[in-house]
């Protein structure tokens, strides 16, 4: 049987890829080693967070499913960074881990054009046409061959996976699951470069043995919102608390006793670990003078006693982990379900990919998720969604979808991967984006829903609802620009805030620009404004989004102008097979980097480490001016 798209791996990247390709019309096969663990939360039971929450809202705006599945399985919701500017607000949800996987399975099993096969892939089948490798299918451990026009590899941490706990090591993709062998070897044969990375996870704790009375609870938002822009989900009604836990000098002294048996320090682990999500032993080395670290105790679901100790990832010997845990206040008698461990796995440096996530070496072969050197469910899901979209579009002969750095965090993520590469597991931060004010979580639907609708991933009904919301948003902002406020209507309110009295009336927009005044307060102060809101059924979500756009209007216009300059460089293409060695005006490092990355545009070339502004001027003289 021949498929349009085959997806290898049922993690967060694989689920989004398979769902997108199938819903767009491609006959799709999803191959997974275990159908009970679709989009398994192998590490912490949460979705979102700083920058990651923005990515999930973008996935949802494009028509992906991670946001919807999260909303349906949320047990606590928080909007992080509310004390900072709106560009930094980041939604985060604790999820019911088992329900999250079950919801994904339900949706995948009921997706038209999508077929599922439980097995392990051991070989990527290739053909050689005119000296260029092209994918033609896969072979499984059971000897079954599936042919396909395109293949998406989303194998997560399973490729040659090796788990470590103290001096004990065992093959595996995660605790309880076998590793995958054969794929790496088949790709190396055609010249695809392979690297090795490492990640880790903490012990899982039994709630029955935790003294919660001794811990500090951390509650969700009083008025929680949600991830998905669709009406399919509603904000959570009943939330569960997390808890704050702290290490101590005594805990640290215990952990240090295990350092000589740590695979991280004795040379056993050779893979590169995530700097921004370090193990507890890494923290003790890096912050040797700190006598306390804050940890987060997070429930793994509503109907389980399993808790995740966020911040205590470790590969130290089991007995050292236990002894250290027992010295933490509230965990003196704790029982664990399993110890923490580290895992090493193969990845493929992403500079070998186009922005479509297709391999530069093997035609019609796409890579998404941790195999590209990223870390995190959200980054993986975003890549999977774009890989699924582009694999389908390759099948039907349409141009790949590439998001710009000013269009989405997803665009920043993919551009960083294929242009700069990775020297450690890549994690998204707001600081990686040049246009943070444009890429807010609240306006992801404005930025991406029209594209999702054009691709066929957003339904007609949902798009009409979006268009209605956009109309109301624009009318609200227009109203604030047009309607004047008399002195008598606002003076007493301004004085009550300690603000200077005004000598003449102004537009509502002018008052809303001030940090001390909210749009919600102005609605309450101005009867005509309140009547306008009520007559048009304008929701609090629209009011908040309008306020952000008003208060940040000057910054937004400035960032748009800067982004427009960047677009001019994006429009200057570089021929795919250009010979950089002939350009002696370029530095040797620039020639080497350009030859390796082969940027598609001058703008992409400008983001390559080692390519200087002077080198860009040389390229502009050759291709631009």
CA atoms of 525 and 446, how far apart (whole Å)? 29
Q: CATH topology for 460-550?
A: Arc Repressor Mutant, subunit A (1.10.10)
pLDDT above 70 for 276: no
Across the range 409-424, mean pLDDT stands at 94
Q: Is the pLDDT higher at 150 or at 167? A: 150
Give the pLDDT of residue 69.
98
pLDDT above 80 for 277: no
Q: Which phi and psi angles does 432 have, rounded to 5°? A: -75, -15
Check if the beta carbon of residue 422 is closer than 8 Å to that of residue 370. no
Nearest Cα residue to 512 out of 503, 502, 520: 520
Across the range 362-389, mean pLDDT stands at 97
Average pLDDT, the chain: 93
Check if the beta carbon of residue 114 is closer than 8 Å to that of residue 83. no
Q: pLDDT tens digits for 538-595?
A: 999 999 999 999 999 998 999 888 888 777 878 888 888 889 988 888 888 889 889 8
Distance spanning both ends of the chain, measured CA to CA:
51
Coil, strand or helix at 183: helix
Give the pLDDT of residue 582.
85
Domain ranges of the chain: 204-341, 460-550, 571-624
Across the range 244-251, mean pLDDT stands at 96
Across the range 189-201, mean pLDDT stands at 93
Check if the beta carbon of residue 200 is closer than 8 Å to that of residue 314. yes
pLDDT above 90 for 286: no
Q: Find the helix or strand (DSSP H, E) in which 341 lies.
A: strand 341-347
Laid out side by side, the sheet with 46-48 consists of 46-48, 90-95, 74-80
CATH class as words, domain 571-624 = mainly alpha
CA atoms of 229 and 151, how far apart (whole Å)? 30
Give the pLDDT of residue 625.
58
CATH class as words, domain 204-341 = mainly beta
- Sorting pLDDT into bands at 50, 70 and 90, what band is 246? very high
Q: pLDDT tens digits for 97-152?
A: 999 999 999 999 999 999 999 999 999 999 987 778 999 999 999 999 999 999 99
> Secondary structure of the chain: what % helix, strand, coil (to 5)?
40, 20, 40
CA atoms of 43 and 45, how far apart (whole Å)? 7
Query: Which residues lie closer than 8 Å to 565 by C-beta, 6 or more apart?
Result: none
Nearest Cα residue to 48 out of 245, 286, 221: 221
- Sorting pLDDT into bands at 50, 70 and 90, what band is 341? very high
Nearest Cα residue to 56 out of 99, 106, 95, 102: 95
Nearest Cα residue to 560 out of 447, 438, 474, 403: 438
Q: pLDDT tens digits for 59-80?
A: 999 999 999 999 999 999 999 9
Give the pLDDT of residue 130.
75
pLDDT above 80 for 236: yes
DSSP letter assigned to residue 316: S
pTM assigned to the model: 0.93
Give the pLDDT of residue 272.
78
């Amino acid at each position: 049987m021949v498929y349009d798209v085959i997806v290898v791996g049922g993690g967060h990247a694989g689920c989004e890829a398979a769902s997108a390709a199938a819903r767009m019309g491609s006959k799709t096969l999803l191959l997974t080693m275990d159908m009970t663990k679709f989009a398994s939360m192998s590490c912490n039971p949460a979705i979102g967070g700083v920058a990651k929450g923005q990515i999930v809202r973008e996935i949802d705006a494009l028509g992906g499913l991670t946001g919807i599945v999260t909303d349906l399985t949320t047990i606590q919701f928080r909007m992080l960074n509310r004390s900072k500017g709106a560009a930094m607000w980041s939604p985060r949800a604790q999820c019911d881990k088992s329900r999250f996987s079950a919801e994904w399975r339900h949706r995948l099993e009921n997706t038209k054009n999508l077929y599922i096969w439980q097995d392990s892939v051991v070989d990527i089948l290739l053909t050689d046409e005119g000296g260029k490798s092209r994918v033609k299918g896969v072979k499984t451990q059971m000897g079954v061959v599936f042919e396909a026009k395109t293949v998406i590899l989303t194998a997560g941490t399973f490729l040659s996976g090796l788990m470590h706990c103290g001096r004990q090591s065992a093959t595996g993709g995660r605790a309880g699951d076998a590793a995958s062998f054969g794929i790496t070897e088949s790709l190396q044969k055609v010249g695809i470069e392979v690297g090795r990375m490492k990640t880790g996870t903490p012990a899982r704790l039994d709630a029955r043995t935790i003294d919660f009375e001794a811990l500090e609870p951390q509650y969700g938002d009083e008025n929680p919102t949600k991830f998905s822009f669709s009406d399919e989900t509603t904000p959570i009604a009943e939330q569960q608390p997390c808890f704050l836990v702290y290490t101590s000098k005594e805990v640290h002294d215990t952990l240090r006793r295990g350092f000589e048996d740590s695979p991280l320090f004795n040379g056993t682990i050779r893979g590169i670990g995530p700097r921004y999500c370090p193990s507890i032993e890494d923290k003790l080395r890096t912050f040797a003078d700190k006598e306390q670290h804050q940890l987060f105790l997070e429930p793994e679901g509503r109907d389980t006693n399993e808790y995740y100790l966020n911040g205590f990832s470790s590969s130290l010997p089991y007995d050292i982990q236990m002894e250290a845990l027992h010295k933490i206040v509230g965990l003196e008698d704790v029982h664990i379900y399993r110890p923490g461990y580290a895992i090493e796995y193969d990845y493929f440096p992403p500079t070998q990919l186009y922005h479509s996530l297709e391999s530069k070496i093997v035609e019609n072969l796409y890579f998404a998720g941790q195999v590209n050197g990223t870390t995190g469910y959200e980054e993986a899901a975003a890549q999977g969604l774009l890989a699924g979209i582009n694999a389908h579009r390759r099948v039907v002969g349409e141009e790949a979808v590439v998001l710009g750095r000013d269009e989405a965090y997803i665009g920043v993520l993919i551009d960083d991967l294929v242009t700069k590469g990775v020297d450690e597991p890549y994690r998204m931060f707001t600081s990686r984006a040049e246009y943070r004010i444009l890429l807010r979580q609240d306006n992801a639907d404005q930025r991406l829903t029209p594209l999702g609708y054009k691709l066929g991933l957003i339904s007609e009904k949902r798009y009409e609802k979006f268009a209605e919301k956009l109309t109301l948003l624009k009318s609200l902002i227009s109203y604030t620009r047009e309607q004047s406020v008399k002195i008598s209507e606002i003076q007493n309110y301004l004085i009550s805030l300690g603000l200077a009295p005004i000598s003449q009336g102004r537009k509502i927009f002018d008052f809303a620009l001030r940090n001390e005044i909210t749009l919600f307060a102005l609605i309450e102060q101005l009867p005509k404004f309140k009547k306008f809101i009520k007559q048009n059924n304008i929701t609090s979500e629209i009011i908040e989004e309008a306020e952000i756009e008003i208060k940040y209007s000057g910054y937004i216009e400035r960032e748009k102008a800067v982004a427009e300059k960047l677009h001019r460089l994006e429009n200057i293409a570089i021929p795919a097979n250009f010979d950089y060695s002939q350009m002696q005006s370029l530095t040797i490092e620039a020639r080497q980097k350009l030859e390796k990355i082969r940027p598609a545009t001058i703008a992409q070339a400008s983001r390559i480490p080692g390519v200087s502004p002077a080198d860009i001027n040389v390229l502009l003289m050759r291709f631009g001016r």
